[in-house]
Amino acid sequence: MDIVNNYLWTAVQEKLSSITSTKDFLDEVERALQDLKDNYVLLDQELVANSHGMQLTAQVQRWHDKVQLHDRQDVVNQLKVAYNNRGCLLGSCSLNLWANYKISQSSIKLYKEINNLKMEHDAFKEIAEAQPPRTVLEIATSVSLVGNTIKLNLEKIRGYLVDDNVSMVGIWGMGGVGKTTLLNEINNSFLGGDTNLGFKYVISLVVSKEPQFEKLQNEISKRLGLPSDSGKSDIFEFLKKKDYLLLLDDIWKRVDLPEALGIPLPLHQSQNFENRGQRYKRKVIFTTRDDDVCAHMIAHKKIKVECLDGEEAWHLFKQFVNEEIINSNAIIKQLAMKVMKKCSGLPLALKVIGRATSNMKTPEEWRHMLRSLIKMDVRTITSIEESLFHNLKISYDNLVSDTLRECFLCCAQWREDERIPIPDLIQHWIWCGLISNFGNMGEAFDEGYSLIAKLNEASLLELEFDDEGYVKLHDVIRDMALWIVSECGKKKNKWIVGGSDADLRQFLKREAGNWQETELISFNGTFFNNSLPKILSDQNINEKGQLSVAATSPRYPNLQSLFMDCDVASYTKVVTKLFRHMPSLTHLNLSWARIVVLPKEIQVLVNLRYLNINDTKILSLPSELKELKELKYFLFGNTDFEYQFIQKVDGLATISVLPKLQVLDLFENTCLEASDLRLLMDRNMIKAISLVVDSIEILGLLKHLPTWKIRLHNMQNMHTLQLCDLSYKHGEGLMELHIDDCGFEELLINDSVVNLGHIFLYGLTELKQITWPVEKLPSECFPRLTSISIICCDSLRSLSWVLHLPCLRRLEVAECSSMEELIDPTDQMQQASSGLPTFPSLQVLEIIDMPNLVSLSTDPLDFPVLSTLELTECPKLKKLPFKSAIVNNKFKYVNIDEESWEGLEWEDTTIRSHFAKFL
């Protein structure tokens, strides 16, 4: 009986509590809900936001979906309203006992639900996991799709993608016909989240004629989110149980997918059973110019991409011409349609010729263009490729000068698909004599940039801006250039150009007698094995074109240019024998050759105008070098700068007696004696000189020389260095300045250096300030400065002068122990130029190992194009000077070490969240 009484009394107590403690229950459930929000939901969200590449686990995400904070808050709010509306109050208590009871019971129920959710969350072992790579990455395209042809091909391919019996599809057709465009559209068609057709990953690669498989493996690893050091075995293990679509653009021969790339073979789905019956969807689509490649790749289906029909071609042509001009005159429109028809529906021809006509405003100009195209229509030539070249050649013929045409052809000396650094291209034009009427290197580069702009306008060069900038030849345009050089295929050995051992073997197959027509040999690469010694053999050619050991009839009697920019083990044996077999040689590049001496046999090259022995191990020049009386350009520097030691080279005095020398480059390698420099000055022929300066005597001569690249090394016992002392004529030719381990305290910028592009300051422990005249702004003195590196300058306190430089793209500051503020707000230079935009061109910002740096700037700054940020080992740095617009920048790389990241304070948490995605 006592047990029954106790049970009844407990029940009565609970009911009474529900009536009398309603407010306590409400308060408790509200506190529980707030705790669920702050310490569970928001904490999880913040964890993911601060961890780059992480996401909630599926289990935790389902828990979040079940929480429904908003709905539960609504319930609490409704209970509070009901509590306040009970009516019939007695003091603070309501006499509406039934209302109290219902509110209390609802509060208790909700409290239990919240508590259960917390307990469920506490049981999770992992909250977040690595975020999987996106299914597909968008490929930017510059051409809008036109007509039904490409749409029909897209539909056909999508049909193959859902067909279990089709795993390998080949897209083939002539160069420039639109194969790449079609492949890119296939890739981009997967951007809709519900249209992936079952593929976990869509991987797109450009293979090209000379595939670099290690580089392609790195691209695949990055795409799949694998570690940077992953190899093909790691790729294979990752993909062997995944569904993927592989898109390979521009293959020229069979690619062994597992061996070359680590890609599991795509099999018929009916045969592809693994993992106890689990089957995987693996498909490959590739493009090629050769139908045989489709057979060698065992393509289950092939699609030949044809040229566009008349209406489709017209729509594409109008994307590149000035449609307003065409529509303004019926005669011009009629002529434009005839010009378009001469392109025979080839998309690349429509693009190139369309752009070539975009500024033609009169019927006369259009008639001239049409006549030119008609004249190139040689009926005896039936080859499609040659017809293409004849059509594309009109853009080449339409260039304004022979010099511009020669500059274009020079671009074909680089390998296919290679990005050509603009400075390298301009220098090559200089060495070839295509840019010759200049007084200093700044003037020469100005002309070079002008030539590049003209070629780009003619759609013969593609521009890519990154650091110094690059140009690129479309592979069909490059083939056309080589075809032009070969006199329309009549002299195929006139230029021998390549970048691999396979290219050399191909040339060796040609008849030896044809080598006599060779005027240029250019190879840039490392994989030549045994073919290079054969092609540069010391065997001669007799009158019948057969190999001979006779001392007459040199093997390459008409060879003018030999550019061997490559590291070849057998070079030493070859180079000492080849000179006497090339009597007409005018240009010789032996850079990176594994040679320690320049053989005295070089004296036989009496016509030589250009000699490049950059990046060799040569420590002595032969006295016979003085026989090269036609030599204008001599390069003996070090282009792979990593704080190089100064070389002591014997025989340098020979350089000073070369009568026609115009450009001398000893940068980062060595220096002439002061007496030899005076001889060059007295001759008054030098247009550009680069060297290492390690004495006050030589420094005193620079103001009388057209310096190009200068390294000041270990200069002591001087208080101030004046920029005006480093070159003559206001430094118009000075383009690169390195200063290391010098003892001056002040760098005085007392002159405008209009073409200076790079400044590198290292180990200037005494340098306290960089000063300017009152009437000059930094942006006026350095209008083209693109790169600044300041390292180990322990007395330097700020760099306010960099803030408004108009062309600065890269800024590196490291190990400057006294610097507390990068930009000093009290600096007079900053105040004088305060109306100018801040960092208008800065793309790369690297701040490394700055132990006392507190602030980059106390004021927020604009960084409109910043895309790379590295911030490491800056323990005192508290704030970054970014405005909210920084989140709109297209960042490629962000690296902030954990200690620096944790120490940063953020006024705008949106910026913090934005950067967290990259870490």
Tell me: the pLDDT tens digits for 549-575? 444 456 678 899 988 876 655 555 565
Three-class SS of residue 566?
Answer: coil
**Residue 898 maps to a domain:** yes
Q: What was the pLDDT predicted at 508?
A: 59
DSSP assignment of 7-64, as one string? HHHHHHHHHHHHHH-HHHHHHHHHHHHHHHIIIIIHHHHHHHHTSTTEEE-HHHHHHH
Per-residue H/E/C for 649-686: CECHHHHHHCCCCCEEECCCCCCCCHHHHHHHHHHCCC
pLDDT reported for residue 864: 94
Domain assignment present for residue 48? The answer is yes
Q: Give the pLDDT score at 142.
A: 67
Query: How many domains does one find in the chain?
Result: 3
Domain match, 28 and 161 both? no
Cβ pair 373, 342 in contact under 8 A: yes
pLDDT number for residue 277: 47
Six token digits for residue 438: 């200049």
Helix (H, G, I), strand (E, B) or coil at 492: coil
Backbone angles phi, psi at 125, to 5 degrees: -80, -35
Question: By residue range, what is the domain housing residue 218?
Answer: 149-306
- Cα distances (Å, whole numbers) of residue 506 to 332, 492, 494: 47, 12, 14
CATH number at residue 191: 3.40.50.300
The first and second tokens of residue 60, run together, are 């935790």
Q: Is residue 14 part of a domain?
A: yes
Report how far residue 219's alpha carbon sits from residue 212's, in angstroms, rounded to the nearest whole number: 11
Predicted confidence (pLDDT) per residue in 596-640, tens digit: 888 888 999 999 999 999 988 898 999 999 999 999 999 999 877
- The SS3 assignment for 203 reads strand
> What single-letter DSSP state applies at residue 65?
H
Residues 111 and 258 in one domain: no
93 and 41 part of one domain:
yes
Q: How far is CA 787 from CA 662, 761, 839, in A?
A: 27, 11, 12
Report strand pairing: 470-472 vs 462-464.
Answer: antiparallel
Q: Are residues 227 and 111 in the same domain?
A: no
Residues 87 and 160 occupy one common structural domain: no
765 part of a folded domain: yes
Q: Exposure string (b/e) for 228-243, b if CB count within 10 Å is 16 or more?
A: eebebebbeebbbeeb
The per-residue pLDDT for 310 is 84
H/E element holding 94?
strand 93-94
- Burial annotation 143-175 (CB, 10 A radius, 16+ → b, else e): eebbbebbeebeeebeebbeeeebbbbbbbbbb
Q: Identify the burial level of 795 via C-beta atoms within 10 angstroms of its C-beta, where 0-12 means exposed, 13-18 middle and 19 or more buried.
A: middle
Whether 838 is covered by a domain: the verdict is yes
State how far the Cα of 582 lies from the Cα of 558, in Å rounded to an integer. 7
Residue (of 314, 390, 393) closest to 354 by Cα position? 314
Tell me the two tokens of residue 253: 């021969």
How high is the pLDDT of residue 298? 92
Q: How far is CA 302 from the centre of its chain?
A: 33
Residues of the chain with pLDDT under 50: 1-18, 89-94, 269-270, 272-277, 377-384, 527, 540-552
Listed residues 306, 328, 355: the one ending a domain: 306
Contact 200, 242 (CB under 8 A): yes
Q: How far is CA 839 from the centre of its chain?
A: 21
Q: Which two tokens stand for residue 688?
A: 């550009």
193 and 233 co-located in one domain: yes
Is there a domain that residue 446 lies in? Answer: no
Same-domain pairing of 207 and 66 = no
Which residue, 77, 97, 130, sits at the end of a domain?
130
Q: Do 705 and 681 touch, CB atoms closer than 8 A?
A: yes
Q: Are 615 and 565 in contact (CB under 8 A)?
A: no
Structure tokens at 90: 């007695």
Distance set, CA 693 to CA 282, 706, 739, 766 (Å): 61, 14, 9, 19
Please indicate, yes or no, whether residues 108 and 225 belong to a single structural domain of this protein. no
* Residue 277 located in a structural domain: yes
Answer whether 854's CB lies under 8 Å from 825's CB. no
Same domain, yes or no, for 125 and 153?
no
776 DSSP assignment: -
Radius of gyration of the chain (CA): 36
The residue type of 214 is E
Boundary-marking domain end, from 130, 160, 181: 130
**Rounded Cα gap, residues 12 and 18, in angstroms:** 10
Can you list the positions of beta strands (E) in 786-915?
Answer: 787-791, 810-814, 844-848, 868-872, 893-896
**Torsion over CA: 203, 208, 214, 219 (sign):** negative
Please enumerate in sequence order all residues whose Cβ is within 8 A of that of 734, keeping only pairs 6 or more positions apart, or say none. Answer: 442, 707, 708, 709, 710, 726, 727, 753, 755, 756
How far apart CA 520 and CA 95 sit, in angstroms, is: 107
Does 282 lie in the same domain as 164? yes
Query: Are residues 184 and 102 located together in one domain of the fold?
Result: no
Note whether 918 and 808 are same-domain residues.
yes
* Amino acid identity at 739: I
Token couple for 697 = 């005597």
Please report, to the nearest 10 degrees, the dihedral formed by the alpha carbons of residues 46, 47, 51, 55 taken in order: -100
Cα 759 to Cα 200: distance, rounded to the nearest angstrom = 47
350-389 b/e with 16+ CB inside 10 Å = b?
bbbbbbbbeebeeeeebbebbeebeebeeeeeeeebebbb
Residue 760: per-residue pLDDT: 96
Residue 432, domain member (yes or no): no
The Cα 735–Cα 293 span in angstroms is 48
The DSSP element (H or E) to which 249 belongs, if any, is strand 244-249
Q: Determine the pLDDT at residue 589.
A: 92
Q: Quick one: pLDDT at residue 530? A: 56
Between CA 691 and CA 543 the distance in angstroms is 47
Q: Which residues pair with 665 in a beta bridge?
A: 635, 690
Tokens of 813: 């500051």
How high is the pLDDT of residue 2? 47
Rounding to the nearest 10 degrees, give the CA dihedral for residues 900, 903, 908, 909.
Answer: 90
Sheet (strand 746-748) strand order:
720-722, 746-748, 769-771
Token pair in block for residue 649: 């080279």
Comparing C-alpha atoms, which of 303, 379, 382, 392 is closest to residue 346? Answer: 392
pTM for this structure?
A: 0.69
